[in-house]
């Protein structure tokens, strides 16, 4: 090898690549190898690297499916066991707020998808705008959720020592058109609300983590990190955000809607 410099200290070269900002093409002394800083040397092609990234992200999302799946299963089982309690407690949820939140979350996901597109076509300002809109709608979702939780707090529908079954054992006193439940079945409404808070709370935690990541991504996008062909962080965050979206697409009908019809 004529060029001994390249072999003396490979770590120097890696360091050099890491520090290069903004991302640009590099041609080595022989003028043969174009390396982008985001293109790791152990991948044959950039496409292979991109696919490996998507694959890894999907493996993570599969563990998330199993995580939420456990709670979905608990819901399914308890709904079958304590159906009357689940019907009346589900009817206490606010369908209007739930439906509005579904639309808000779909809108947020729509802007996220447009953000991925903006990164692909290297429109920096559009990408920043889309990420901000994604964040705004994400925060709006959490805002609506706050008012829903507040309502549950006021009605003593948060499981624990202050939980009250009064609305379910004596619905007439609360102007509810429900059949009164026997006290032991009315106690089971706590299980519904426990699952409601566990599932929507875990979903909201994922939203909060996502919004924190969105701040970080927006800042990096603003500095131009994702407008020169390097879109992997935006794309993989998009996968996460859409996954959180999908969880809500199932939570909404299961918690708010499917028990509704017995009431007239």
Partner 1 sequence: MAHEVSHDQAHDPSNVVNPEHGEHHIVSPLQYCFVFGALLIGTAITVGAAFVDLPGVLNPVIALAIACTKAVIVILFFMHVKYQSRLVKLTVGAGFFTFIVLITMTLLDYMSRAWGMW
Contact flag: residue 121 with partner 1 (CB under 8 A)? yes
For partner 1, which is the closer residue by CB, 117 or 194? Answer: 117
Q: Whole-number minimum distance, CB 198 to partner 1, in Å? A: 17
| Listed ranges 29-37, 109-117, 156-164, 188-196: which one lies at the site for partner 1 (CB under 8 A) | 109-117
Contact flag: residue 107 with partner 1 (CB under 8 A)? yes
Selected binder of partner 1 within 71, 120, 124, 144 (CB under 8 A)? 120
Selected binder of partner 1 within 5, 14, 77, 212 (CB under 8 A)? 77
Contact flag: residue 83 with partner 1 (CB under 8 A)? no
* Residue 174 CB partners (closer than 8 Å, separation 6+): 166, 167
Alpha-carbon span 113 to 169, nearest angstrom: 47
* 84 contacts 181 by C-beta, under 8 angstroms: yes
For partner 1, which is the closer residue by CB, 37 or 109? Answer: 109
Q: Whole-number minimum distance, CB 38 to partner 1, in Å? A: 15
* Residue 39 CB partners (closer than 8 Å, separation 6+): 46, 49
* 249 contacts 257 by C-beta, under 8 angstroms: no
For residues 167-206, which are near partner 1 according to CB under 8 A? none
For partner 1, which is the closer residue by CB, 158 or 226? Answer: 226
Q: Whole-number minimum distance, CB 246 to partner 1, in Å? A: 5
* 203 contacts 211 by C-beta, under 8 angstroms: no
For partner 1, which is the closer residue by CB, 101 or 190? Answer: 101
Q: How far is CA 88 from CA 84, 135, 174, 201, 262, in A?
A: 7, 34, 13, 21, 9
For residues 227-246, which are near partner 1 according to CB under 8 A? 235, 238-239, 242-243, 245-246
* Residue 84 CB partners (closer than 8 Å, separation 6+): 179, 181, 185
Contact flag: residue 16 with partner 1 (CB under 8 A)? no
Contact flag: residue 18 with partner 1 (CB under 8 A)? no
For residues 20-49, which are near partner 1 according to CB under 8 A? 44-45, 47-48
Selected binder of partner 1 within 85, 88, 93, 112 (CB under 8 A)? 112
- Both tokens of residue 235? 């794309």
Instruction: Note the residues at the interface with partner 1 (CB under 8 A).
Output: 44-45, 47-48, 50-51, 54-55, 58-59, 61-62, 65-66, 69, 72-73, 76-77, 95, 99, 102-103, 106-107, 109-110, 112-114, 117, 120-121, 235, 238-239, 242-243, 245-246, 249-250, 252-254, 256-258, 260-261, 264
């Amino acid at each position: 090898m004529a060029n001994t410099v390249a072999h003396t200290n490979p770590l120097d070269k890696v360091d050099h690549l890491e520090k290069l900002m903004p991302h640009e093409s590099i041609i080595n002394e022989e003028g043969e190898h174009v390396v982008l800083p985001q293109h790791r040397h152990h991948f044959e092609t950039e496409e292979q690297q991109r696919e490996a990234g998507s694959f890894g992200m999907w493996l993570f999302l599969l563990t998330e499916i199993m995580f939420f799946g456990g709670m979905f299963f608990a819901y399914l089982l308890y709904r079958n066991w304590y159906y009357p309690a689940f019907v009346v407690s589900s009817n206490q949820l606010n369908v209007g707020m739930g439906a509005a939140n579904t639309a808000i979350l779909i809108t947020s996901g729509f802007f996220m998808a447009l953000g991925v597109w903006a990164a692909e076509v290297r429109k920096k300002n559009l990408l920043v705008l889309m990420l901000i809109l994604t964040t705004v709608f994400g925060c709006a979702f959490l805002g609506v959720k706050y008012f829903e939780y507040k309502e549950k707090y006021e009605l003593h529908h948060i499981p624990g020592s202050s939980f009250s079954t009064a609305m379910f054992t004596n619905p007439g006193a609360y102007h509810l058109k429900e059949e009164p439940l026997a006290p032991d079945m009315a106690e089971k409404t706590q299980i519904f609300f426990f699952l409601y808070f566990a599932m929507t709370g875990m979903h909201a935690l994922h939203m909060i983590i996502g919004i924190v990541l969105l701040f970080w991504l927006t800042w990096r996008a603003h500095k131009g990190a994702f407008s020169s062909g390097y879109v992997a962080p935006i794309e993989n965050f998009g996968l996460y955000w859409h996954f959180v979206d999908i969880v809500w697409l199932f939570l909404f009908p299961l918690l708010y809607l499917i028990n509704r019809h017995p009431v007239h």
